[in-house]
């Protein structure tokens, strides 16, 4: 059994194959995932699992150097944005439009779909290095 907190084998597999600057997205249950992009669907029911608990779990295993957030998250869901800032700590946050974020999903190694129903609960995590 795994020793780290993250138990989901599909998410762990994607993270283990990521290199520097590769990206992984976490989205709410309504985020459209492009055909051809790996979908890891962990949504169970409304808000379970939640976006924030999914983000914090993934951060136990993935070293990141940047977080890409839709500016609409800051404007429409400021508490969620504050929670994201706390979770990622001293990591660069880049703002783009929600439309740009959806377009960038095509380049992600995978999109993790949560049960979250808070508007604009979506991020793209850019992999960093541990050395």
Active-site amino acid positions: 20
Whether the Cβ atoms of residue 1 and residue 106 lie closer than 8 Å to each other = no
Annotated ligand binding at 121? The verdict is yes
Tokens of 10: 């599909």
3-state secondary structure of 97: coil
Annotated ligand binding at 8? The verdict is no
Q: How far apart are CA 111 and CA 61, in angstroms?
A: 16
Count, residues in the chain? 131
Annotated ligand binding at 98? The verdict is yes
Annotated ligand binding at 110? The verdict is no
Q: What is the CA radius of gyration of the chain?
A: 13
Q: How far apart are CA 49 and CA 76, in angstroms?
A: 21
- Angle, to 10 degrees, between the axis of helix 51-58 and the axis of helix 78-88? 10
**Binding site feature residues for substrate:** 28, 98, 120-122
**Binding site feature residues:** 28, 98, 120-122
């Amino acid at each position: 059994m795994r020793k780290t907190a993250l138990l989901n084998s599909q998410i762990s597999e994607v993270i283990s194959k990521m290199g520097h600057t590769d990206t992984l997205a976490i989205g709410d249950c309504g985020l459209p995932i492009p055909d051809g992009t790996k979908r890891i669907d962990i949504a169970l029911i409304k808000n379970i699992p939640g976006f924030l608990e999914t983000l914090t779990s993934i951060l136990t295993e993935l070293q990141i150097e940047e977080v890409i957030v839709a500016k609409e998250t800051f404007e429409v869901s400021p508490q969620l944005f504050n929670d994201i800032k706390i979770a990622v700590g001293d990591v660069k946050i880049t703002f783009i439009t929600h439309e740009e974020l959806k377009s960038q999903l095509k380049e992600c190694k995978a999109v993790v779909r949560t049960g979250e129903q808070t508007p604009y609960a979506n991020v793209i995590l850019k992999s960093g290095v541990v050395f």
